Structure 1
Amino acid sequence: MTTPLDTSSLEQLFSEAHTHVSWQDKAIPESLIHQLYDLVKLGPTSANCCPARFVFITSDEGREKLKPALSSGNLEKTMTAPCTVIVAYDETFYEHLPMLFPYADAKSWFTSSPEAAYETAMRNSSLQGAYLISAARALGLDTGPMSGFDAKRLNELFFADSTWKVNFLINLGYGDGLKVHKRLPRLEFEQSCQIL
């Protein structure tokens, strides 16, 4: 049996964590990015398919490349973030299934159904993006996940010659706690849950 996390850990991950839009001028060490991925990759995906691919943009050159694909409302917070992660998925993720899931011919489940491949890639890369948010918070980073970009343009800029496609973006860094928005309301249990 595992032991529940203590209150301060739960606060860091959930109840006191916020989406950040303003950032301290503090770089994220590359070793921490590697540590982050080493946690993210352990999160469960269906048939261990691991379709997410991550592009960690930390350079001014990378930010300038991303800039034309961003909506105006996301420009400043992204240009000033120490790191922006493109959470993408690999359309041909199933090529790795003989190694990732050796218990069955899982590759054939997707080569015969482009619809199943797309649905699986989107669902599970979204899960992996959520794992990244939780893992980043656990490592002391703040996050700002977002939509608000031109997916077609972003794919042209970053993935024109690959099978990767963007899902969503996450800004990472050390947030400016003085500029955090007040937490917005959430739905109550009775509004969004059922126990049958």
Structure 2
Amino acid sequence: MNFAASAPAHETLTLAADAQDLLFNEAHTAHTYTSEPVSDAQLAAIHELVKNAPTSLNSQPLRAALVRSDSARDRLVAQMAPGNRPKARQAPLVVVLATDLDFHETLARVAPHVPDARELFSDETMRHESAVVNASLQIAYFILGVRAAGLAVGPMSGFDAPAVTEEFFPGGRHRALVVANVGHPGPDAFRPRAPRLEFGEVFKTV
């Protein structure tokens, strides 16, 4: 099959074309934001939309810290890579997205259909790997949820993860994975889209 000659996505997918544009085709990482705030009500609505993201045994290890106070913002910006500091300083909301490395302690409640769910993750190395993978899935859904709310998001990995973890999730149970700026895009918020790999470069049939 010649995938390069296949029909455009808007003609082959069930998702409406305007929704495809909002979530994917016209969505960009934002680099500047307006001062318009992001409310807890908006975040709660985003959570309701994306909380059904798939995770192993419904583990749901994602945890998030909403950085709203000036003092918390100062502490976070100090741990960001130099190129990310202006963006983290200027965005109306910054969210530290982390994983709960001991998510297995809540499995009895969220995975009652698996009686031995907690025991399945008794091995620490395997549990921590699962925590990172499944929280990363949830982070991807969170990004889509922010876009669905009409907001822009700028996920960043350029920061001192151990320091940010200790600052916002002390105690050793969590690990910061991504810092995300959230808000309405400001002037010149978007850069030209960089090239993407083609289907044949990503997928293979075995």
Whether the 8 Å CA contact 2:65–2:168 is kept in 1: the answer is no
Counting only pairs closer than 5 Å after superposition, residues 105-120 of structure 1 correspond to structure 2 as 105-111=116-122, 113-120=123-130
Would you say 1:132 and 2:142 are equivalent positions? yes
Residue in 1 that maps onto 2:5:
none
Q: Please state whether the residue corresponding to 2:78 is helix, strand or coil.
A: helix
Task: Please point out which of 97, 103, 107 is paired with 1:97.
Answer: 107
Distance 1:179 1:159, change over 3 A: closer
Q: Percent of aligned positions with the same letter in both sequences?
A: 35
What does the per-residue CA deviation read over 1:6-54, in whole Å, with 9 as the maximum and x for residues that have no partner?
1111000000000011011110122101111222211111110001101
Task: Please point out which of 148, 169, 181 is paired with 2:158.
Answer: 148
Unaligned runs of 5+ in 1: none
TM-score when scaled to structure 1? 0.94
**Alignment RMSD:** 1.4
Would you say 1:15 and 2:25 are equivalent positions? yes
What does the per-residue CA deviation read over 1:152-195, in whole Å, with 9 as the maximum and x for residues that have no partner?
11122112235121011111111125331000000011111123
d(CA) in 1 for partners of 2:86 and 2:185? Answer: 14
Give 1:62 deviation, angstroms.
2.1
Task: Please point out which of 98, 103, 128 is paired with 1:88.
Answer: 98
Unaligned runs of 5+ in 2: 1-12
Q: Please state whether the residue corresponding to 2:95 is helix, strand or coil.
A: strand
d(CA) in 1 for partners of 2:174 and 2:128? Answer: 12
Find the structure with the greater CA-based Rg: 2
Q: Please state whether the residue corresponding to 2:188 is helix, strand or coil.
A: helix
d(CA) in 1 for partners of 2:169 and 2:97? Answer: 12
d(CA) in 2 for partners of 1:33 and 1:117? Answer: 28
Amino acid aligned to 1:144: G
d(CA) in 2 for partners of 1:94 and 1:172? Answer: 30
Give 1:130 deviation, angstroms.
0.5
How many equivalent pairs are there?
193
d(CA) in 2 for partners of 1:180 and 1:103? Answer: 45
Would you say 1:59 and 2:69 are equivalent positions? yes
